[in-house]
Amino acid sequence: MSLLLGVNIDHVATLRQARYALLPDSPNAEPSPLDAAHDAIAGGGDSITIHVRGDRRHMQDRDARRIRAEIKAPLNLEMGVTQEMLALALELKPQFACLVPETREEVTTEGGLDVAGRRQETGDCIRALQDAGIRVSLFIDPDLHQVEVAAELGADMIELHTGCFANAEGQHLNGEIRRLIAAAELGHSSGLQVNAGHGINYGNLFKLFAVPHLTELNIGHSIVSRAIRVGLKEAVREMKQLMTTYPQGPCD
């Protein structure tokens, strides 16, 4: 199997909301997250990732419903561990749900979910989603204790937060790569599918290839940024092409 690409299109909605947040039904509202999802799949994306946040700062419920209804590729719903988001997930029934932290102060998700500190509510949410046939991923920092608890709670997957990796240089970068390698190896040996995401771009992608057992990368901001120059379909195609050189298959 080749390394899979989940295309996060949240920032397409961010751009729309900058002009049309108060005019949600305007026929002029653009760009369309649904059109972006179609283009991402046409460019070779394997799945679509969206995050409906509690404050609805970018993706709206109606976006999620339209994408779920019209896009045949798998949908990965990023969601906070709340009853509101659980209800939406159970309505949509995406193929995947990724539990993430949320704070209103952050511009975008800036760290992993504290699974160990929120064991009970996270476990309850995992079971409710899995009972509905939804595979569950936990977005966590590359911390071995967090990986252990994710496995104990019965998650299907972990998504390793690569933000620190993406922003590190020199010896700090080497240290972050070692953290990711250790977390990936533990996750894989614990029976978890290992994904990664946050801050991955066309330049640092190859450095991430030192991490074994990766199945899927979820990438959004870099692809949407590149799309301003070349279009979304081409931006996805370029990223997917770079990913074909990952040296190890996800089932090794």
pLDDT of residue 109: 57
Examine residue 251 and state whether it is found in any structural domain, yes or no. no
Examine residue 210 and state whether it is found in any structural domain, yes or no. yes
Examine residue 220 and state whether it is found in any structural domain, yes or no. yes
Inter-helix orientation angle 144-152/170-189, to 10°? 20
182-197 per-position pLDDT tens digit: 999 999 999 999 999 9
| Residue 111, pLDDT above cutoff 90 | no
- Computed over every residue of the chain, the mean pLDDT equals 95
**Residue 12 domain boundaries:** 4-243
Examine residue 10 and state whether it is found in any structural domain, yes or no. yes
pLDDT of residue 251: 45
33-60 per-position pLDDT tens digit: 999 999 999 999 999 999 999 999 999 9
Q: Annotated catalytic, 102?
A: no
Neighbour-count burial of 102, counting CB atoms closer than 10 A to its CB (0-12 exposed, 13-18 middle, 19+ buried): middle
Tell me how many domains the chain contains: 1
142-200 per-position pLDDT tens digit: 999 999 999 999 999 999 999 999 999 999 999 999 999 999 999 999 999 999 999 99
**Given 51, 58, 188, 213, the catalytic residue:** 51
Examine residue 185 and state whether it is found in any structural domain, yes or no. yes
Examine residue 252 and state whether it is found in any structural domain, yes or no. no
pLDDT of residue 104: 56
Q: Residue 57 is encoded by which pair of tokens?
A: 């700062």
More confident residue, 121 or 25: 121
Examine residue 248 and state whether it is found in any structural domain, yes or no. no
**Given 38, 161, 198, 213, the catalytic residue:** 198
More confident residue, 26 or 252: 26
Burial profile 105-124: b = 16 or more Cβ within 10 angstroms, e = fewer:
eeebbebbbebbeeeeebbe
pTM: 0.94
Q: Annotated catalytic, 51?
A: yes
Q: Annotated catalytic, 198?
A: yes
pLDDT of residue 106: 55
**Given 78, 159, 176, 216, the catalytic residue:** 78
- Arithmetic mean of pLDDT, 135-147: 98
Check which CATH number belongs to the domain holding 169 and give it: 3.20.20.70
Examine residue 249 and state whether it is found in any structural domain, yes or no. no
187-244 per-position pLDDT tens digit: 999 999 999 999 999 999 999 999 999 999 999 999 999 999 999 999 999 999 999 9
Residue 57's alpha-carbon distances to 76, 113, 122, in angstroms, are 18, 20, 23
The proportion of the chain whose per-residue pLDDT surpasses 70, expressed as a percent, equals: 94
Neighbouring C-beta atoms of residue 68, cutoff 10 Å? 18
